[in-house]
Amino acid sequence: MNNSFTNKNLENLNTASFDWSEIQNQMKNKIGAEVYESWLKKINFEEEFNNYILLTVPTRFIRDWITSRYLDQILQIIKSYKKEIIRIEFKIVNLEISKGEKDEEITKKFDNKKNVSFIKDSYLQYNRIDPNKRFDNFLTSSSNKLAYEASTKVSENISHYNPLYIYGGVGLGKTHLLNAIGLELKKNNKVMLISAERFMYQFVKSIKSNDMVKFKEYFRNSDILLIDDIQFMNGKEAMQEEFFHTFNALLDKGSQIIISADRAPNKLSRIQERIKSRFSGGLVVDIQKPDYELRKNIVEQKTEELNKLYSDQISISKEIQDYISKEVNTSIRELVGAINRVVSFSRIYNKVPNLAETKVILKDLLNISENKVTIDLIQTLVCRFFKISKNEMLSSRRSRYLVRPRQTAIYLTKILTSKSLPEIGREFSNRDHTTIIHSVKTIEKLKEKDPEMVNNINKLKNQILYNNRDNEI
């Protein structure tokens, strides 16, 4: 610091015009007081040049930290004062000589980097563990029991199953379980929870900024590595290489690895064979679609939770709860979303929606697979179900054995696609839209008093929605 002092004054006479304390205030306001106190305060202004400024920081570590996280924001603030500044340079000053006392503080902080909360709060912002996704609010049934049990075992006894690989469709609770494991193990271990996407992003960023060493260090330092949605890690040889090494290094030192994916290890595409085979080397468990029991329990739990949260809550009738449990059967995420919507509705309108209103509120959730559900598919499956031909269904004949299937197909099209009434009419041999309305109403009425009708509709709905899903994987 000292030896540059004279140069500074000679080279740049404008230094005084640059009000660093003003910039500091701005950093505090815009980037946050906490970050400022921990990091940004340590930056000192050194010198201003034509189009860049030179700042000082006490250690290399702090410099890397700041540049990887806050550089853009800092530059923006500086530019708002001097737009000709296009770059920031850092110089590391030797603390031991200039500021002995503070150095201790910094060393302490530096050591702390091994501590999870430190990583979490600062540099690796993506290491977020959601405190609301715990074991105690994870409900089980036969569809997810195995995954749940494996997860609790791993949390009690590291390296029992290593790696633990959990897979299942969207919204079935994989991230919830990973979080729950993370929360448990975080108490005594260094935990790293990251999505594969984030891992890739960070990897590429580290290469660009020449920070690979730090990147590796962070991952290899963890006792527990949880990687969510591994299916998103694909391609990129170099990255898979790094991942594989990290993976092996961690297993070698006895760290626990937990992976989630939307499919079984051998079904992963664009991931090296040897990685897949290592994934299969521990315990592989899957989560199935929630059965009715589980859906019902989740609806109850969630409704109760929301009731506690909002004191002004109007309780949602059993009928509506039941409807949601029955109809929203694709994923738990959709289920939770459905309840949230009904609750929002009742809070906004100060009344619990009736069944018809509920249907409207949840329309698009019930149509979840809509883009894959075509009228043609519905017609084909309904015809097959009632053993009639498509020509018969689309004909104008009004024999009873044709009318019901036709109405059923129309009804299913109405609830499973977002086609308008005239559009549906066109697809059913140019029938008038009033005919379409009539068909929908007829089936709705029948459903109310005829359990067999309900049953048939549900079966067909499952076929239509799930057939697609199965073909997709």
- Asked if residue 175 binds Mg ion (CB under 5 A), the reply is yes
Helices (H), 167-280: 174-186, 196-208, 212-220, 237-252, 273-279
- Asked if residue 133 binds ligand ADP (CB under 6 A), the reply is yes
CB 173 within 8 A of CB 179: no
Binding mask 327-346 for ligand ADP (x = CB under 6 A): -----xx--x----------
C-alpha separations of 115 from 123, 125, 221, 222, 361 in Å: 12, 14, 10, 10, 45
C-alpha separations of 105 from 39, 41, 42, 99, 409 in Å: 12, 13, 11, 11, 72
Cis amide leading into 163 (omega within 30): yes
Query: Nearer Cβ to Mg ion, position 175 or 413?
Result: 175
- Torsion angles phi and psi, residue 224, rounded to 5: -130, 125
CB of 226 to Mg ion, least distance (A): 11
**Of 130-138, 185-193, 418-426, 427-435: span binding ligand ADP (CB under 6 A):** 130-138
**Of 132-140, 152-160, 191-199, 207-215: span binding ligand ADP (CB under 6 A):** 132-140
Buried b (16+ CB within 10 A) or exposed e, 395-420: eeeeeeebebbbbbbbbbbbbbbebe
Query: Nearer Cβ to ligand ADP, position 26 or 143?
Result: 143
336, interface contact from ligand ADP, Mg ion, none, CB < 5-8 Å by kind: ligand ADP
Query: Nearer Cβ to Mg ion, position 26 or 175?
Result: 175
Pairing assessment for the beta strands 283-287 and 164-168 based on DSSP bridges = parallel
Among 58, 163, 173, 182, binds ligand ADP (CB under 6 A): 173
**Of 170-178, 280-288, 292-300, 425-433: span binding Mg ion (CB under 5 A):** 170-178
Could you give the CA distance from residue 75 to residue 86 in angstroms, rounded to a whole number? 8
The shares of helix, strand and coil residues in the chain, as percent rounded to the nearest 5, are: 60, 10, 30
- Asked if residue 403 binds ligand ADP (CB under 6 A), the reply is no
Of the candidates 47, 39, 53, 45, the one whose C-alpha atom is nearest the C-alpha of residue 22 is: 45
176, interface contact from ligand ADP, Mg ion, none, CB < 5-8 Å by kind: ligand ADP
Among 74, 129, 147, 172, binds ligand ADP (CB under 6 A): 172
Query: Nearer Cβ to ligand ADP, position 127 or 144?
Result: 144
- Asked if residue 358 binds Mg ion (CB under 5 A), the reply is no
- The enclosing H or E element of 26 equals helix 20-31
**Of 43-51, 135-143, 352-360, 447-455: span binding ligand ADP (CB under 6 A):** 135-143
CB of 369 to ligand ADP, least distance (A): 16
Could you give the CA distance from residue 86 to residue 249 in angstroms, rounded to a whole number? 41
- Asked if residue 59 binds Mg ion (CB under 5 A), the reply is no
Q: Identify residue 202 by its one-letter amino acid code.
A: Q
**Of 1-9, 172-180, 209-217, 394-402: span binding Mg ion (CB under 5 A):** 172-180
**Of 62-70, 83-91, 131-139, 418-426: span binding ligand ADP (CB under 6 A):** 131-139
Could you give the CA distance from residue 398 to residue 404 in angstroms, rounded to a whole number? 10
332, interface contact from ligand ADP, Mg ion, none, CB < 5-8 Å by kind: ligand ADP
Q: Which two tokens stand for residue 83?
A: 């737009």
CB of 260 to ligand ADP, least distance (A): 7
Pairing assessment for the beta strands 191-195 and 224-228 based on DSSP bridges = parallel
Question: Bridge-partner residues for 220, per DSSP?
Answer: none
Query: Nearer Cβ to ligand ADP, position 75 or 146?
Result: 146
CB of 304 to ligand ADP, least distance (A): 12
Number of residues interacting with ligand ADP: please give it, by CB under 6 A.
Answer: 17
Residues that bind ligand ADP (CB under 6 A): 133, 137-139, 144, 168, 170-176, 298, 332-333, 336
Residues that bind Mg ion (CB under 5 A): 175
